[in-house]
Amino acid sequence: MRRYVQLRGQGVDPTERAVRSKLIDDFLPKVEELVERSRGRVGADTVHKKIAAMGFTGADRTTRRAVAAAKESYPAGNRRVFRPWIPEPAMWLQWDWGEGPRIDGRRTSLWCAWLAWSRFRVVILVLDKTLPTVAACLDATFRTVGGVCRPTA
């Protein structure tokens, strides 16, 4: 009990166990590099051969444990992170096609464009979705909105 009181008086948590150094500690950066380079697909036997050539004298079981730990932590650092896209007000114009009314039995489409963070909408009735029509719709939309300006940086 006296030892626990002394440790606590020194600011050390008496319930924590001391971390021993391991034989593979000096080779862990190479193990992690090999796992990273292979995108988590390298085998422990291949890693053991490479670090043994570098001077590792431990058993292959030690290498298997180290490779398993590196492979387990590999996905955490390589996940794709999805962040929501938040457009700046009046900096982005979006457009899409909508189903228009039938005119004399012919299908029509609606060009729908809107400014981000705005209630401003442009809707144009068109007969087709060809490139010249898209260019004309963009032109009409930009003229209606007030043109295109470059952001100043």
Output the pLDDT for position 146: 81
Phi and psi at 133, nearest 5°, equal -65, -40
Residues 28 and 72 in one domain: yes
In the chain, count of helices (H) and strands (E)? 5, 3
Three-state SS at 33: helix
Nearest to 5 by CA among 98, 103, 13: 13
DSSP state of 16: S
User: Is residue 115 a contact partner of residue 91, using CB atoms and an 8 Å limit?
Assistant: no
| Number of folded domains that form the chain | 2
**What does the alpha-carbon distance between residue 7 and residue 14 come to, in Å, rounded to a whole number?**
6
- pLDDT band at 119; cut points 50, 70, 90: confident
Look at residue 106 and tell me if it is in a domain: yes
Confidence of residue 147 (pLDDT cuts 50, 70, 90): confident
Indicate whether 82 belongs to any domain.
no
Q: What is the span of the domain harbouring residue 58?
A: 2-77
